[in-house]
Structures are given as C-alpha cells and as structure tokens.
Amino acid sequence: MMHVPSLTNPLTWAAFGGIGIFVAALVDSSFVPLPLVTDLVLMELCSRHPLRVPYYSAMAAAGSLAGCIWIYWLARKGGEAYYRKHQATAPGRVRRFVQKYPMASVLLPAVAPFPVPFKPFVVAQGVFQVPFSIFVIGTLIGRGCLFFSEGFLGARYGPVAKEFIVNQKGTSAAIAIALGLTIFLIYRAPIFRRREYSQTD
C-alpha cells in the first residue's frame, strides 16, 4: 500500500524547502486549517539552514498573504452575513474599530502568534471594506515580523524553540491582550483625541 504523506506533518512540507513553506502557509491561511504547521516547518528549515532565515520567513509571509487574499475577497463579496456566521463578536464595535483604525486592525492580528485566531480578523477586514492596499501592506508586515521572529528562534534554539511554540498558548494570549490594550491606550491618549476633535470641527 502506498504511503500518503500527512498534510499536518511539518516534515512533509519541509521536504520541499521554501516552496513547501509557501504552499503550507497559503493552504493554512485560506480554507484548510493547518494549526502551527507553517510555524514548525519554518523553524525546522531555519534550524537546518540558519543563513536562509530571511528567505524562509519571506516565503511564509508571502504564502500567508496569498491565502488571506482569498478570505478577504470572499468576505468582501459576501458581506456581513458571512462574518456573523464565523464570528460571534458584536459587529458594531468591530466595524467601528476596523473603519477608524484600518492599519491597526490588519497589523495587530497578523503579528499575533498562535493561538490568537487570525482568519476572523481577515473576514472582518473584507466585510468592513479595509482598503486592499492597507490589507496587503499590513498583512505582509505583520506576518513577516511574526515569521522572521520564529525563524530566528528556530535557527538559534532548534528543537527547544519548536517545543516552546507548541506549548506557549498562555504566553501568546497574554502578549496579544497586552498589544491590544497598548493600542487602545495610545489611541485614547489626549493628543489623539485632540486631533480627532480638530478634524471634526
């Protein structure tokens, strides 16, 4: 009987190098969830070839962006009905934040590590009409920063880094909450509020 490679096995994708990372990230960011597969493939390859960290990170970011574009356009076409089906957060508050701070609404979820959910934010960005250029730039920067950090950790610490990524759910959640609170406090600062008032005068 012929053995069929498992798509959830990082070594399956790692065998194809940078192309494997790109395709794994594309699949994971579009319609077939592959939790942590891209991250582990990236760290595995970076541990083998430390000098290729920028290349592998760029391929992961590009693949993730390519997959997200499908979700973005589907949500943009489908409208709020699709969003309500996939996310229970109150749409009014999400809409106001996305429309007021489009770059922050793209960049923050893109840079947040697992287990912070990413696709619901992409859906919201499409539904609430985040400009495509901002969506592309923010996603590419955020995913690039995330994957470069993981690639560096993989090159520097090898299997220890991979074990940390798998078991750091609480740490990631705490980081995501801290980032969200920081952005909220920054935009609530008097200097930003004065600017908002001056624009409405």
pLDDT in tens, 85-136: 555 554 566 677 777 888 988 988 898 887 777 888 898 888 888 999 999 9
Q: pLDDT tens digit string along 122-138?
A: 988 888 889 999 999 99
Residue 31 CA: distances (Å) to CA of 24, 26, 97, 122, 174: 11, 9, 26, 12, 27
Q: Coil, strand or helix: which one is 112?
A: coil
Residue 18 CB-half CA count within 13 A:
11
Q: Does residue 4 belong to any structural domain of this protein?
A: no
Q: Report the alpha-carbon distance of residue 142 to residue 34 in Å, rounded.
A: 19
101 vs 58, which has greater pLDDT? 58
For residue 146 the two structure tokens come to: 């995330």
pTM: 0.74
Q: Does residue 192 belong to any structural domain of this protein?
A: yes
Question: Which residue range is the domain that position 185 belongs to?
Answer: 10-200
Q: Does residue 5 belong to any structural domain of this protein?
A: no
Q: Does residue 33 belong to any structural domain of this protein?
A: yes
What does pLDDT average to over the chain?
Answer: 79
Q: Does residue 37 belong to any structural domain of this protein?
A: yes
160 vs 64, which has greater pLDDT? 64
Amino acid at residue number 79: G
Residue 161 CA: distances (Å) to CA of 64, 78, 118, 197: 21, 39, 22, 47
DSSP state of 50: G
Q: How many domains does the chain have?
A: 1
Q: Does residue 1 belong to any structural domain of this protein?
A: no
Q: Does residue 66 belong to any structural domain of this protein?
A: yes
Mean pLDDT value across residues 134-161:
92
Give the percent of the chain with pLDDT over 70. 71
